[in-house]
Amino acid sequence: MARQTLTLGRLFDVRVGVHVSWLAVYAFMTFALARGLGMLPQPAAYTFAAICALALFGSVVAHELAHALVARRFGVRTNAITLFLLGGVATLEEEPASPRADALIALAGPALSAAIAILALGLLYALDRFAPGGSLRTALGTLDTYVVIANAVLAVFNLVPAYPMDGGRVLRAILWRGSGDRDAATTTAARVGIAFALLIVSAGVLVAAATHSLVYGWYVLLGVFLLRHGWAQERAARTSGRRSDADVPAAA
């Protein structure tokens, strides 16, 4: 995977990169958003759509960076943040040492995404109330609305208790604190995550079949990704007490 990742730079001494698969997502989102901006000339529509797609990029990086900085507070370093087809991942060097650290690291991403959504919502209110009318205000309002929606989705969706997503990590921390056994807690949380992943795959297939829309295949891909990682985590915890030190996809 490293050979297929483009390094963009470093933030707070954490390497930030994009997997080549994310470039396809970026191109698709830019095209899809531009088609909804028919009120603008085509060059302006595609330029503005590219900026909106970059807003999602920034939102996912901020979400993962929050995980990394809180992890550093608990003595856990982050090797890199990488964006890929289904979202983002922050690669941790080791496991948190306590359930409390595990839960706070997991909650840091959704908390920051929620804060960004609230701030963007406040800005949207200010634009509607105080900014003069015109195409500039419309464009800024559209971009701000996109930031609100993107970060709200990041905050809410990542709290689904499907390990290794953020909500699943919080579930593991709760089980770990109750039992005192991290490996057993990981196994249980991973099995819950597998059940949620199967539900996501099934729902995606059924809705895609009912609507004849391939858009819902996105959820099938996400569910398969969670299934693969859930099985890997469950097997590692059950057989050797170790798991891969990778965070979770942060974007729906």
- 90: nearest Cα among 249, 231, 251: 249
Q: Collect all residues with Cβ–Cβ distance below 8 Å to 247 and sequence separation of at least 6.
A: 64, 67, 89, 90, 91, 92, 164
Q: Which of 64, 93, 94, 95 is catalytic?
A: 64
Q: How far apart are CA 186 and CA 145, in angstroms?
A: 37
Other Cβ atoms within 10 Å of 42 Cβ, number: 10
Closest CA to 45 of 56, 13, 205, 53: 53
For residue 119, give every residue at least 6 positions away whose Cβ sits within 8 Å of its Cβ, in sequence order, or none: none
Asked about 94 being catalytic, the answer comes back as no
User: E-assigned strands of 27-161?
Assistant: 78-84, 87-92
| Side chain identity at residue 195, one-letter code | A
**Would you give the distance in Å from CA 147 to the centre of its chain?**
14
Burial tier of 53 (Cβ tally within 10 Å: 0-12, 13-18, 19+): buried
The encoded tokens of residue 237 equal 């915890």
d(CA 237, CA 214): 35
The answer to whether the Cα torsion of 205, 208, 209, 213 is positive or negative is negative
Distance between CA atoms of residues 123 and 144, nearest Å: 8
Side-chain half-sphere of 33: how many Cα atoms within 13 Å? 25
Residues involved in catalysis: 64
